[in-house]
Structure formats: structure tokens, C-alpha cells
Amino acid sequence: MFALVDCNSCYASCEQIFRPDLRNKPIVVLSNNDGCIIARSRQAKALGIPDLHPYFKIKHLIKRHRVEVFSSNFRLYGDISQRVMDTLMHFSPNIEIYSIDEMFLDLDGIDLPLEGYGQKMKAILWQQVKMPVSVGIAPSKTLAKLANYASKNIPKCQGVCLLDNPEKWQWLMKRVPVTKIWGVGSRIGKRLTEHSIHTAWDLASSNPKTMRRHFSVCLERTVEELNGTTCLDLEDNPPDKKQIYCSRSFGNKPSELDPLLQAISLYACRATEKLRAQQHLVSTIHIFIHTSPHQPNYYSNSAVVKLPYPTDDSRMIVAKAKQAVRKLYRPGYKYLKSGIGLIDIMSKQHCQPDFFQPPQEKTADALMATLDNINQRYGSGSAFLAGEGIRERWPMHQQHRSPCYTTDWNDLPTITT
Amino acid sequence: MEISPLSITNEPPILLLPLFGAAVRAGFPSPADDFVETPLDIREHLIKHPSATFFARAEGDSMTGFGIFNGDLLIVDRALQPQHGDVVIAAIDGELTCKILDLHEQLLRAGNSRYAPIQLNDYAELLIEGVVIHSIRYHRCSR
């Protein structure tokens, strides 16, 4: 049996942990640079505040209902997520961190009534971390996801739903649209309607081989999983990223070339750091810049650059990225965003060097390793390329950021005695 | 966006220095070699439930009678069941405060006669948020 534990309105709930005064109030969390709504408390959802909506478009709603607004504070969310995971380790030795707010637990061998076990997880996480969660328990990961959906939407479940026999999940599947199933997006959902598959139950009772032929092996597995057969196991280590992107919006939309070059250098270094952490090399990069699509005179351009040899050398990648930005840049625009993607990456260990092209020099490996060591020991950003700029001149817009209650000594919650 | 949690559990131990007595090649082997132990880690003493523990800063003088002064660092454990006589963090109408829990009289007591006790039943919204297991004070004058 698997359990899926999902933090309810994760970021909003994190903001409420050290603010008991906000626990029953409408609050929202904004994306980087206070762009879009990315989390809403239950009360904010009830007010009809839409998810993933540009903030400026619904400011009136927020004002009228006195909704508390927060800029995203990922240091806080990361720490709380870690606490949730550490707490769940007491419930199963085998856990998969599916995302910052979702964890799968392997419950095989747990010889206790599982519904009560789920309730206990929920109660302990509330008591010890002050994180409200929903728990779905079922024989496959896909069904556990479905059970989790039910636990959130059926009040009688009280946040925990156990699907332990076919009658239960069949009853549920007949009432759930197929697009709510894990791995079935709106695009596949649309194509499924052509096959007269509308509910989860329609999919579960379809022929898996037909699904494989018309769609993919993944959908075939989904059908099997919906019938209680375990096809997907827990993944201990998340697979290495096939592409690494690093991009950000500017707070004060610059129009000169210089800040764009600095920004791309910084993002290139961040992305390359991640590349080295998973011991990969990159041979092709993707660079893009654009202005705000919400304003007239929209300009957007991108370039794909092939590198002379597969590399993880920040200096090389920064140089190529800057070259690209120089080509993409047009004066007279206010740029909103720039970024870099390392799009063709391969394992460093299994990399085949080109016979005619010398590979990266050994000294580069040593230098990069030293750079990473310094930054690991003395904190990220202790040593960096001068091109990244000594002081970030494009500060993030974070007007409503909460303190880093658990990760910064200067931000501890104060308690009146 | 980068997430760099500084969680209590995963931090590398600050105080742990391995004792390599055997690395001294010349001369008499250290008689302590057979007794190598890891040095004491203060966190082991202060924190029993890392993922349920948070730090806070005390502000005010209502707990001076129990040795908690303005500016002290409080270590708060949410995993402990509050007992009679515990120093607790309570949320009263959404405000966090630090008091002594008196379960016999159903009160929150201050450690300072200038502050009246708080009846637990007087507030619809009174929650015990955690137990203060330690408080830490910096004793040098200049800071």
C-alpha cells in the first residue's frame, strides 16, 4: 500500500505557522517578483481568488476582502518541507519526495489499521509542524493520488481517504473526471473524449493494450494502476534533470545591455552549478530575453548555441551566453525576463569525447571543483565570476516577504512574555 | 529559485572533531586510542525533536521570575505534550506569548507579580503552541 501525503495550500500554510492570527484568514502567496498568485489559503479560495492569476489584475479583490499578501519565501518553505519529510520518516522508512509539498510513503508491512494511521500522520504533522495535510492511501501510486483528491474534496473523509477495495475506488472513479487522474492532463483528456472516455472509471475499464497503441505505455500503466496493480514503485533518487533552466524576472525592467549581461552571467553560473552537482556536461545552451507581454511593443527573442565541446566550465558557458545576449539585445525596450537553459546534457562519466576536438582541460575541472567547494563551505555566492556583478542591480520585487523564521538568526519569531 | 533550507537536522555537526590518535606514527602509541569517543554536541542536549523544534526571541519582562529575560533565545518543542508547570508558548487571539501553564487552576501564569494570570477559559482562541524546553542567554555585556 502507498500513501500520498499532500500539504494543503503548502506555501500559504507555511506563512501561517508563525502567524496564528492568520490561520483562519484569507491569505495569498505571490510568485517571484510578486507576479502571480501561486498559493491561496482555504479562505482565499472561498473568496473566489483565482489561482495563477496576475496579481495586479485582482488587486481590487484583495483590497476589498483584506486578503493578506505574501511574497514567496522559499527559504521558509524549503525548511518546512524538510520538517514535514523528517516527521514522515517516523511513519515509513521508505519515502519518495515527489515535490516540495507531496510525499509518497511505502506502507507495506505496516500492521495497523491504515485509515487510523493516516489520521495519525495528519494529527502529528499538525501538532509538530503546524502543517495541514491530506492523506490518500491505496494499493498503487495512481490510486493513492486519486484517494488524496477524494480526501480533499469529500468532507466526510476528514482529510484521509483509504481506498482498500475495488468497490471503493470504482464508486469514486465513476464520479471523477478523467483529467483528475495522475498523468492525464487536459491535452490527453481531450483526446480521450474522442474514445468516449470521460470519467476515471471509463479509463480504468478500458483495454490497457488499446491505450498503449493509441496513446503511450504510460497510459497503459495508468490503467493497470487504476485497477489496483502496482506498476510504479517509489523512486528513491529523483532522476537527473534532462534540462536545467535558470531564469528570473527583473524587478526594475532594465533597458540597457549591461544589467542583462550581468543577469545572464549569474543565471548561467547557477545553472552550471546545478549541472556540476549532478555530474553532467552540456553541449548546447538556450538563451532567451523578452519584455512584458502585458505591455505594448512586446519583444521576445532567443538563441540556441552549440558549445565547442561538452563542458561544465562556468567561464565557457557564461562567455557563450553573454555573446548570445549581445546578439539578441535591441535598444529601446524594457526587458522583463531573461534566462538560460542547458538543453543538451550528458553524464560526465559516459561522455564520448570528439576525436578531432580536444575536450575540456583538466585545469578547468580543478578550478570549478574549487569554486564549488568554496561556495559549499562559505555559503552560496562567496566566490563568483566578476561578470555576475558585485551587487545585483536588478533586485527582486518582494514587497511582502515574511521573515525567514527558521533559517535566519535575525528573523526568529518574537514572543511577548 | 533556489531553496537552501538550513534545517537543524542536516547541518554538519559543528563541534565534532574526530580524534586520530593513531596518526602519530613515531613514538609511543597514545594510551587514549582505545577510548576514542565523539565529543559532546550541544544540540544533542538542547534539541530532542529537531523537526518539531523552533527557536524564538523573548520580548518583555513578564517571565523574569522564572529566569526568562528580554532578548533570551527560547527553544520550543512542539512534539511534547504540555504538562502542569511547563513553560509554554500560547497563541491567545492570534498573539504568541510565553507563560507558565497551571493545569490545576486552568491558568497561564506570568513570572512577574505585575502581570495578572490569564484564565484558560476566558479565550475562545487559546492554543498551546509548544513547550519551551530551554532558554539561552548571552552573558557578556557588550553585544
Catalytic residues of B: 62, 99
Residues B6, A270: C-beta atoms closer than 8 Å: no
Q: Is B79 on the interface with A (CB under 8 A)?
A: yes
Lowest mean pLDDT among A7-11, A14-18, A98-102, A157-161: A98-102
Residue A179 has pLDDT above 90, yes or no: yes
Residues B96, A72: C-beta atoms closer than 8 Å: no
Which residues from chain A sit within 8 angstroms of residue B90, using beta carbons?
Answer: none
Evaluate whether ipTM surpasses 0.90. Answer: no
Angle at B3 between CA A119 and CA A57, to 5 degrees: 85
- Judge whether A13 and A28 are in contact, CB under 8 Å: no
Q: Name the minimum distance, in Å, from the CA of B29 to any CA of chain A.
A: 34
Q: Which residue has the cell 593513531?
A: B22
Q: Is B50 on the interface with A (CB under 8 A)?
A: yes
Nearest by CB to A416, from B49, B52, B60: name it: B60
What would the pLDDT profile of B5-59 be if each residue is shown by its tens digit?
444 444 444 555 555 544 556 677 777 777 777 788 899 999 999 999 999 999 9
How far, rounded to the nearest angstrom, does the alpha carbon of residue B131 sit from its chain's CA centroid? 9
What would the pLDDT profile of A346-404 be if each residue is shown by its tens digit?
888 877 777 777 788 889 999 999 999 888 777 777 888 888 877 654 556 778 989 99
Q: Is A128 on the interface with B (CB under 8 A)?
A: yes
DSSP string, A257-311: HHHHHHHHHHHHHHHHHHHHHTTEEEEEEEEEEEE-TTSSS--EEEEEEEEEEEE
Which residues from chain A sit within 8 angstroms of residue B49, using beta carbons?
Answer: 128
Q: Which residue has the cell 565534532?
A: B16
Distances (CA, A) of A248 to A253, A290, A320, A380, A388: 12, 11, 19, 18, 14
Distance, in Å, from the CA atom of A133 to the CA atom of A84, rounded to the nearest integer, reads 10
Which residues from chain A sit within 8 angstroms of residue B60, using beta carbons?
Answer: 416-417
Q: Nearest residue on chain B to A380, judged by CA atoms?
A: B4
Residues B6, A79: C-beta atoms closer than 8 Å: yes
Residue A32's pLDDT band, with cuts at 50, 70 and 90, is: confident
